[in-house]
C-alpha cells in the first residue's frame, strides 16, 4: 500500500492496491494491520457514506468536539472530490494550516484526518460518492462548523464561490477564529 505523509505530517494519504482482471477489480479497502503500519492506529466505530449529485457541492468545514472528536479515513468510490483537512489544535505548529488531496474512484486514495482537524470537501464531478470511517460516533450536540471559504484559512479551493452548492447550515458557519480552544495539541 502506498503511504504519503502530507505537509501536515499527521494527515496521511494511503492508496491500497487494486487488482484488476477481465471481470473487474478487487481491493482490500481497509486492512487494520496495513493501516497500523501506515500510522493509522485508532479504532473505527462508524462508517459514513454520502452522495452529492452536483459538481461543486461543498460539505464542511466540520468537526465534533471532545469527547466526541472524530478521526476520519475518507475515500471517494464514485467520481472525484477535493478533500481538505485543517489543523484546529491550539498549540500545534501547523495550527490554522490546511492540506488537501484529490480522492477519486480512479486514484483509489484515502485520506486519514486525525481528531482535532476540521474536514470538508468539494465535488469535482457529478454523483460523487464518499465513504469514510470515523473513530467517534455521531454526536449532533458536539458538531461545530467553520465557513468553507474562510478568509482566515485562505483555502485554495478548486471551485469558484459562485459554483459552490452548500447546505443552509454550512452557509451560516462562522470564521475560523470561532474554533479557538476547540482542540488542544498534545
Ligand X SMILES: Cc1cn([C@H]2C[C@H](O)[C@@H](COP(=O)(O)OP(=O)(O)O[C@H]3O[C@H](C)C(=O)[C@H](O)[C@H]3O)O2)c(=O)[nH]c1=O
Q: Which residues contribute to the site for ligand X (CB under 6 A)?
A: 48, 50, 59-60, 62, 72, 119-121, 138, 167
Give the integer Cα–Cα distance in Å for 153 and 160.
Answer: 16
**Helices (DSSP H) in 11-101: which residue ranges?**
32-38
List 68, 95, 132, 138, catalytic entry: 132
The candidate with the shortest Cα–Cα distance to 155, out of 129, 181, 120, 182, is: 120
68 catalytic? Reply is no
62 catalytic? Reply is yes
Cβ-based neighbours of 93, under 8 Å, separated by 6 or more:
none
- Positions annotated as catalytic residues are 62, 132
Amino acid at each position: 500500500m502506498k503511504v504519503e505523509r502530507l505537509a501536515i505530517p499527521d494527515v496521511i494519504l494511503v492508496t491500497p492496491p487494486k487488482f484488476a482482471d477481465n471481470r473487474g477489480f478487487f481491493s482490500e479497502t481497509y486492512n487494520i494491520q496495513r493501516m497500523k503500519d501506515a500510522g493509522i492506529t485508532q479504532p473505527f466505530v462508524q462508517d459514513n457514506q454520502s452522495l452529492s449529485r452536483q459538481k461543486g457541492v461543498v460539505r464542511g468545514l466540520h468537526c465534533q468536539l471532545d469527547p466526541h472528536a472524530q478521526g476520519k479515513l475518507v475515500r471517494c468510490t464514485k467520481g472525484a472530490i477535493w478533500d481538505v483537512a485543517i489543523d484546529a489544535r491550539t498549540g500545534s505548529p501547523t495550527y490554522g494550516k490546511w492540506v488537501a488531496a484529490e480522492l477519486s474512484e480512479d486514484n483509489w486514495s484515502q485520506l486519514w484526518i486525525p481528531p482535532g482537524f476540521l474536514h470538508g470537501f468539494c465535488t469535482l464531478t457529478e454523483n460523487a460518492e464518499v465513504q469514510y470511517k470515523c473513530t467517534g460516533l455521531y454526536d449532533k450536540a458536539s458538531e461545530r462548523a467553520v465557513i468553507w471559504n474562510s478568509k482566515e484559512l485562505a483555502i485554495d479551493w478548486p471551485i469558484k464561490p459562485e459554483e459552490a452548492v452548500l447546505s443552509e447550515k454550512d452557509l451560516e458557519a462562522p470564521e475560523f477564529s470561532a474554533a479557538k480552544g476547540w482542540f488542544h495539541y498534545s
